[in-house]
Amino acid sequence: MTDVRTEPTGTITPAGTPTVVWPGLQPRLLRTADGVEDYADYVGAGGYSDLDDPDSLLDEVRVSGLLGRGGAAFPLAVKLRTVRDAGRSGTRTVVLANGEEGEPASVKDKWLLRNRPHLVLDGVRLAARIVGADRAYVYVSDPHSAHAVRDALQSAPLAGVTVDVVSVRAGYVAGEESAAVRAVNGGPAKPTDKPPRPFQEGVHGLPTLVSNVETLANLPFVHRHGGRTYREVGTEASPGSFLATVTGAGRPPALYELPHGVPVPELLDLHGVSTDEVRGVLMGGYFAGLINRAVLDATLDHETLRARGTALGCGALAILTEDCPVAVAAAVMAYFDQENAGQCGSCFNGTAAMSAVTTALRDGVATGEDLARLERWSVVLRGRGACATLDAATNVAASLLKQFPDLVADHVAGACDPCRTSAYGATRPYEVEMVS
């Protein structure tokens, strides 16, 4: 019987937080000072500056090319314009800042909410002005984030928009946009079928801008400096900087602010990991699946990673060195089996079936027929269900089979010594927690 080895949870503490800004990059999201940024510090750095022309700011957002940081990388300007146009027909609009961060391997949103709540609220203010909203919500599952935002709201100059904090129990599906809307409306934090999408009918049936808090936290920079200055770092298709949560490789977790386009080996070097040790990476949190050592030839931007069959997602990277990728895939799949919403049969049954096969593969008891079924499921189950959880599970299955075929074959033959003796089996793989 395989002895399952669980990984200790990585922690990030507010005091002495391991946050790192890329060498030569003027930080836009992280800050070098310790502690929570208060109102006076934020205003002193240019925060909450007047907005005379919301339409001009929308034009600057379009020029900036700012992409969503929640995982899908959808252009923010398109979302803003769609909700604004709906509001111009006489309908009220709503802004929902999504900071639930149900992805266990990511900590960026919690860090922003806890340490720079005024930056997030300034982004909420600007988004509300652009779409004409007089109501906004900050949606979280971390009690410390909720406290920090509520405290900041006491001094935040948000004239014309009422902001409420909505707290829910943490969960992988709770951060999905329709789940956020459903929770704000008083229901369970579980996804709903689409259409309609929130920009059509969201909070209280009104057109709603649902945007990740890191995305909104970029708006004050665009407001103060303009879209062209925003594009001075990053790549043409992936402009600006982003927050990356890096875990694994036996190293303490860290939060980096990086310009898009950073070569993966340079990030590894900064993180203190030799490329010789790397077996692969679990990309984009749990969503984008696994990539083998080909990741060492990649740069961290959406276009490059998509071309390699993976994705940057929420910016979380778990570096695999000693851990077997098959065992990691089994652990992530077991998490999906536990965390799915239990609403859609295709997801409820599909994640359970794929978890059973990947666990059997890890333990050296899977058959060729099992692998054939896993490969078929990774194709036919894609796109089903009310949210992307099943897509994430199929990504993990498909990437394991494609990226690590020799290792998969070794497991069918029972020839993986690390998994035979002490397999990786964390219930929340590469989880990062912020502690007070």
Predicted confidence (pLDDT) per residue in 91-101, tens digit: 899 999 999 99
Tell whether the model's pLDDT for residue 313 goes beyond 50.
Answer: yes
pLDDT of residue 5: 52
**Confidence class for position 435, pLDDT limits 50, 70, 90:** confident
The total of other beta-carbon atoms located within 10 Å of residue 197's CB is: 16
Query: Cβ contacts of residue 355 below 8 Å, gap of 6+?
Result: 330, 333, 334, 336, 337
Query: Cβ contacts of residue 12 below 8 Å, gap of 6+?
Result: 18, 107, 111, 253, 254, 255, 432, 433, 434, 435
> Which residue did the predictor score with more confidence, 309 or 14?
309
Tell whether the model's pLDDT for residue 138 goes beyond 70.
Answer: yes
Could you tell me what percentage of the chain is helix, strand and coil, using 3-state DSSP and rounding each to the nearest 5? 45, 15, 40
pLDDT of residue 425: 87
Cis bond leading into 196, ω under 30°? Answer: yes
pLDDT of residue 50: 96
**Confidence class for position 436, pLDDT limits 50, 70, 90:** low
Tokens linked to 159: 């004239």
Predicted confidence (pLDDT) per residue in 9-55, tens digit: 576 665 444 799 999 999 999 998 888 999 999 999 999 999 999 99
pLDDT of residue 1: 39
Q: Apex CA 217: angle with CA 96 and CA 153, to 5°?
A: 65
Check residue 276 and report its DSSP letter.
G
CATH 3.40.50.11540 fits 26-230, yes or no: yes
pLDDT of residue 322: 92
**Confidence class for position 90, pLDDT limits 50, 70, 90:** confident
Tell whether the model's pLDDT for residue 337 goes beyond 80.
Answer: yes
Tokens linked to 127: 């988004």
Say what percent of the chain tops pLDDT 70: 96
3-state SS, 176-236, equals CHHHHHHHHCCCCCCCCCCCCCCCCCCHHHCCEEEEEHHHHHCHHHHHHHCHHHHCCCECC
Listed by start position, the domains of the chain span 26-230, 241-320, 325-434
CATH classification for the domain delimited by 325-434, as one of 3.40.50.620, 3.30.70.380, 1.20.1440.230, 3.40.50.2300: 1.20.1440.230
Which CATH architecture group holds 241-320? Roll (3.10)
pLDDT of residue 68: 96
Q: Using CA atoms, how far apart are residues 218 and 150, in angstroms rounded to an integer? A: 20
Q: Report helix angle 389-403 to 345-362, nearest 10.
A: 30
CB 152 within 8 A of CB 39: yes
Predicted confidence (pLDDT) per residue in 240-282, tens digit: 999 999 999 999 999 999 999 999 999 999 999 999 999 999 9
Tell whether the model's pLDDT for residue 433 goes beyond 90.
Answer: no
Mean pLDDT of the chain: 94
**Which residues are 287's β-sheet partners?**
none
pLDDT of residue 159: 86
Mean pLDDT for the stretch of residues 299-327: 96
